[in-house]
Amino acid sequence: MKASLAATSISIALAGVAMNASAAEDKKVLLKVPVAFATSLPGLGSPIPKVAEQIELVTNKSIRMKVYEPGKLVAPFEILDAVSQGKINAGYTTAGYWAGKIPASPLFSAVPFGPDAGEYMAWMYYGNGLKLYQEMYDASGYNVHVLPCAINPPETSGWFAKPIEKPEDLQGLRMRFFGLGAKVMEKLGVSTSLLPGSEIFPALEKGAIDATEFSMPAVDTRVGFHKVVKYNYFPGWHQQSTIFELLINKGTWNDMSAGQQAALSQVCKASMADSFAEGEAKQFAVMKENVEKRGVHIMQWNDTMLDAFRGAWTEVVAEQTANDPMFKKIWDDMSQFREEYKLWGQNAFLPRK
């Protein structure tokens, strides 16, 4: 990781030298960037202000970003359409929000029982991931250029009012759940809804939902779920890592110089490393405080529950690949990469426990 960060920093520095030399020739670009997550949320919304700061420095202010908090310019679930149509020229969000428009999109956000951050980035940058990511938007008719711009470590997999010990305990629950994991929960009798971050706590507090998942402990605690429900489950089988995207209108992207495009790409790549490091660093202290000061129970899914989730996920994959050719194309490519990666992944790392 240190070598990767050093290499990325060198790339950015070199890009910065090139950009400073040519800044007088480049058109000034102002990216107005509505975000899907409050910038106060660590690792979730916090990366994009850092990107805004760094891109201005690297390009000698030939690219500037103005970041808008959720709902201030565009509602979170409207960002993709707004960027594609040119109503705004950029947006920061996650592809999993577009599942209703593009069934394959959650594969570029988070995959149940899927790759952790290292493996996900390996497929994205050194497999076919990035190429397929852009192809998906192009084939779906969206006029956007996509850059992966942050990645989070595992999330918690839910906050519940009581322990969940068997699949039957999920029957009839109303739960906020994200992405492909929601389809798994529905197979197990949960009624799911996808609420933006700002709406989850009010829904939980008023009893409109019984349980929720959202993000990592440092984020969930800041939102306040522990005030209503006390059983916090791990591991995050549904989101072992989560990618966030910077969408740029293609007209805006094509108007940039090659140097500006390279600088933005490299700053986003650096943000992937930084956001992952931030996410890893900020969870354990919050988890300790949750137990000692907030009465939270840190729970582990038993084997029966993990088997039930995995079995339901197998059914979801079969349905999605049968119903959507793009989903199948991406899934098959990711699965082939992961199968080959196993030789490395299963031999290289020490067990966690």
List binding-site positions: 155, 176, 213-214, 239
Q: Which of 113, 112, 130 minimizes the C-alpha distance to 121?
A: 130
Strands 242-249 and 144-152, how do they pair? antiparallel
The proportion of the chain whose per-residue pLDDT surpasses 90, expressed as a percent, equals 91
CA atoms within 13 A on the CB side of 30: 5
SS3 156: coil
pLDDT value at 13 more than 60: no
**Residue 297 pLDDT class (50, 70, 90 cuts):** very high
pLDDT value at 5 more than 90: no
pLDDT value at 279 more than 80: yes
Beta-bridge mates of residue 151: 243
Mean predicted confidence (pLDDT) in 117-138: 98
Q: Are 70 and 77 in contact (CB under 8 A)?
A: no
> Where, residue-wise, is CATH 3.40.190.10 in the chain?
159-238+284-343
**Residue 353 pLDDT class (50, 70, 90 cuts):** confident
Domain boundaries 159-238+284-343, CATH class: alpha beta
Beta-bridge mates of residue 233: 299
CATH H-level, domain 2-154+241-281: superfamily: Bacterial extracellular solute-binding protein, family 7 (3.40.190.170)
What torsion do the CA atoms of 310, 315, 321, 323 make, to the nearest 10 degrees? -150
Q: What is the pLDDT of residue 84?
A: 98
Q: Are 245 and 144 in contact (CB under 8 A)?
A: no
CA atoms within 13 A on the CB side of 292: 6
Task: Dump pLDDT digits (tens) for 180-202.
Answer: 999 999 999 999 999 988 899 99
List binding-site positions for substrate: 155, 176, 213, 239
Nearest-angstrom CA–CA distance, 141 and 145: 12
Q: Which of 199, 197, 216 minimizes the C-alpha distance to 208?
A: 199
Task: Dump pLDDT digits (tens) for 299-349.
Answer: 999 999 999 999 999 999 999 999 999 999 999 999 999 999 999 999 999
Q: What is the pLDDT of residue 9?
A: 47
Nearest-angstrom CA–CA distance, 314 and 297: 30
pLDDT value at 16 more than 80: no
Mean predicted confidence (pLDDT) in 29-43: 96
Mean predicted confidence (pLDDT) in 281-288: 97
Q: What is the pLDDT of residue 25?
A: 84
pLDDT value at 152 more than 50: yes
**Residue 352 pLDDT class (50, 70, 90 cuts):** confident
Task: Dump pLDDT digits (tens) for 47-72.
Answer: 999 999 999 999 999 999 999 999 99
Q: What is the pLDDT of residue 3?
A: 44
What 46-51 contacts at long range (C-beta under 8 Å, 24+ apart), as own/partner pairs, is: 46/275, 46/278, 47/149, 47/150, 47/244, 47/271, 47/274, 47/275, 47/278, 48/92, 48/149, 48/150, 48/246, 50/271, 50/274, 51/149, 51/246, 51/267, 51/268, 51/271
Q: What is the pLDDT of residue 197?
A: 86
Number of H helices, E strands in the chain: 13, 11
pLDDT value at 4 more than 80: no
Cα distance from N-terminal residue to C-terminal residue, the chain = 21
**Residue 23 pLDDT class (50, 70, 90 cuts):** low
pLDDT value at 119 more than 90: yes
> Where, residue-wise, is CATH 3.40.190.170 in the chain?
2-154+241-281
pLDDT value at 142 more than 80: yes
Q: What is the pLDDT of residue 183?
A: 97
List binding-site positions for Na(+): 214
Cβ-based burial of 2 (10 A; exposed 0-12, middle 13-18, buried ≥19): exposed
Instruction: Please report, for residues 137, 139, 177, the alpha-carbon distance to residue 249 in angstroms, rounded to integers and kept in the order given.
Output: 12, 15, 29
Q: What is the pLDDT of residue 180?
A: 96
60: left (phi over 0), alpha (psi -120 to 50) or beta: left
Q: What is the pLDDT of residue 231?
A: 98
What torsion do the CA atoms of 325, 327, 333, 335 make, to the nearest 10 degrees? -130
Nearest-angstrom CA–CA distance, 296 and 291: 5
